[in-house]
């Protein structure tokens, strides 16, 4: 059991508080802005394309999960018929990423959800979440879950709660800083100091 108080984090690592949230029945759609967006399903995604979009969406928050997988393992995930990958588009521009994982029976994990920085704060997130929830519950599931952490956008946790998710568990994650092992540029997430 972890004792109360301060704990050292190894040099070259990040630490975050991870909050797990779930939705046990479909939440009502929230009012959304009239934004000119489209959501396109991507089947058999090219791994290099996917990683580029993943970085564009997640570098500011030190997303690293898909960057640590080798190409073959990542391709297996992306090409799995129970993993539904979508790209959010504004005209021809890629504006965000949505990944719904149905590999666990009766369950959908909102595995990745995010916008490129140009689209944060303008209503695109709510637009995308309304569609994510609807797409997840079109399948025969009993539970939709997601997790976020303190490295994510400062309003992410509140956004998930307002979208209908309920927190049910918290964890501490310690991981190698992806900037120091070459997965992300050293200029990524300047709000998070490298130690």
Order of all β-strands in the sheet with 38-42: 38-42, 83-90, 93-101, 107-115, 143-149, 13-23, 166-176
**Residues lower than pLDDT 50 in the chain:** none
Which residues on adjacent β-strands are paired with residue 42?
A: 85
So what's the pLDDT on residue 1?
73
So what's the pLDDT on residue 33?
84
So what's the pLDDT on residue 2?
74
| Residue 89 buriedness (CB in 10 A; 0-12 / 13-18 / 19+) | middle
**Rounded Cα gap, residues 148 and 35, in angstroms:** 25
**Rounded Cα gap, residues 43 and 84, in angstroms:** 8
Residue closest to 163 by CA, chosen among 122, 129, 128, 113: 129
Angle, vertex CA 20, rays to CA 42 and CA 163, nearest 5: 65
What DSSP line would sit under 94-128, residue for residue? EEEEEEEE--STTEEEEEEEEE-GGGTTTTHHHHH
**Rounded Cα gap, residues 27 and 59, in angstroms:** 29
């Amino acid at each position: 059991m972890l004792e109360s108080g301060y704990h050292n984090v190894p040099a070259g690592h990040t630490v975050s508080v991870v909050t797990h949230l779930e939705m046990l029945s479909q939440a009502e759609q929230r009012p959304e802005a009239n934004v000119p967006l489209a959501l396109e399903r991507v089947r058999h995604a090219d791994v290099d394309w996917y990683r580029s979009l993943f970085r564009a969406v997640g570098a500011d928050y030190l997303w690293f999960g898909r960057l640590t997988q080798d190409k073959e393992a990542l391709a297996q995930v992306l090409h799995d018929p129970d993993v539904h990958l979508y790209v959010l588009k504004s005209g021809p521009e890629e504006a965000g990423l949505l990944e719904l994982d149905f590999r666990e029976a009766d369950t959908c994990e909102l595995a990745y959800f995010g916008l490129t920085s140009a689209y944060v704060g303008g209503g695109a997130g709510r637009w995308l979440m309304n569609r994510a929830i609807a797409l997840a519950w079109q399948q025969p599931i009993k539970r939709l879950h997601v997790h976020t952490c303190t490295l994510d956008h400062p309003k992410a946790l509140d956004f998930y709660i307002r979208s209908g998710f309920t927190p049910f568990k918290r964890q501490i994650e310690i991981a190698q800083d992806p900037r120091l092992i070459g997965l992300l540029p050293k200029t990524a997430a300047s709000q998070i100091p490298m130690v």
